[in-house]
Amino acid sequence: MIPFVREFDFAYGRRDQVSPLIQRVIADNPGPFTFTGTGTYIVGRDEVDADVALIDPGPLDEAHLQALMKAVEGRRVTHVLVTHTHRDHAPLARPFAERVGAPILSMQPPVRQTHASGALDEEEDEAFAPDAVLTGGERISGDGWTLSALATPGHASNHMAFALEDENALFCGDHVMGWSTTVVAPPDGDMADYMASLELVIEAGFDTLWPTHGAPVMRPEPFLAAYRTHRLEREAQVMARIAAGDRTIEEMVPALYAAVDQRLWPAASLSVWAHLIKLVREGRAISDGEPTLRATYSGA
């Protein structure tokens, strides 16, 4: 069982000091994929004229923009960092950056790809364009803090996490979430990339994980081990459904997600599809042509 954390103290628009170098402001955009809403992080000292970086400005929401401007008042915003370009993370980046005079940094936005099922509200911010493109390994510093970029593709092809070296903490975006498992939805999401990125985060040995949605993960080692086990078990369950005679994702989902709200089954279908793409690539399953959402699958 994954030791999810679903209870934490917050209020929309309120600036909370959550660690010596981290403050958080949560946007009022709750939902099935955003939990309580987008948590925007401010990294740096709470001192007049201190340099700070801001991570994941969030959705295009005037109230959240005003809350962020109030939260950084009296300090210099030197960088606006975006973990990935989904609409609950990126759209406010440009309006905020223009107000504070800071550059936007992120990975290169992906080529526009629509989820075949229309199941998600996590589509790309088509207007997003960074001022500088990150590839991983870059270091960004300010007054008493240093962030390093860690490429973590999987949930999105352009997903970038940011490690706060001074607190051995990781701003993990949607790569790992404390309240739920992460959606890996093709065509932009990739399960093989996700599992490889998860191993990188496990090996790094962070003391704290700060997801963009929900509470922090304060004991990453057992949490990440359970996260990995869950994915491997789901993969085995998909193989078991094939062995039981299921040939389509539509047949597999009711059995695999019987305990899950049926409103989430379309999103669950995308996760099963991501597993099947990986299994076909590895030669462990066969599809009748390309491994699409509507393909027919069998065991290898």
- Model confidence pLDDT, tens digit, residues 277-297: 999 999 999 999 999 999 999
Better-predicted residue by pLDDT, 16 or 127: 16
CB 64 within 8 A of CB 243: no
142 and 165 in contact (C-beta within 8 Å)? Answer: no
Residue 135's φ and ψ, nearest 5 degrees, are -120, -10
pLDDT given for residue 117 in this prediction: 44
SS3 label, residue 10? coil
Per-residue model confidence (pLDDT) at position 125: 78
At 102-155, the pLDDT tens digits run 999 999 998 755 444 444 545 777 789 999 999 999 999 999 999 999 999 999
Q: Which helix (H) or strand (E) holds 210?
A: strand 208-211
Q: Would you place residue 11 in the very low, low, confident or very high pLDDT band (cuts 50, 70, 90)?
A: very high
Strands 104-106 and 76-81: parallel
Q: Is 260 helix (H, G, I), strand (E, B) or coil?
A: coil
Bridge partners, residue 285, by sequence: 299
- At residue 32 the predicted structure's pLDDT band, cuts being 50, 70 and 90, is confident
Give pLDDT tens digits for 168-220: 999 999 999 999 999 999 999 999 999 999 999 999 999 999 999 999 999 99
DSSP state of 42: E
- What is the reported pLDDT for 121? 47
Q: Are strands 51-55 and 39-43 parallel, antiparallel or unpaired?
A: antiparallel
Which pLDDT does position 260 carry in this prediction?
Answer: 86
Residue in this structure with the two tokens 């994915």, named with its chain if needed: 231
Residue 122: per-residue pLDDT = 54
Structure token pair of residue 145: 């803090």
How far is Cα 88 from Cα 62, in angstroms, rounded to an integer?
Answer: 14
The 10s digit of each residue's pLDDT in 79-92 is: 999 999 999 999 99
Pairing of strands 22-26, 39-43: antiparallel
Q: At residue 59, what is the residue type?
A: P
Mean pLDDT of the chain: 94
Rounded to an integer, what distance in angstroms lies between the CA atom of residue 14 and that of residue 37? 13
* Of 56, 54, 186, 160, nearest in space to 108 by CA: 160
Residues paired with 148 in a beta bridge: 139, 163
Using pLDDT thresholds of 50, 70 and 90, give the confidence band for residue 74.
very high
- What pLDDT shows up at residue 261? 87
Instruction: Pull the structure tokens for residue 233.
Output: 């078990």
CA-to-CA distance for 138 and 166, rounded, in angstroms? 16
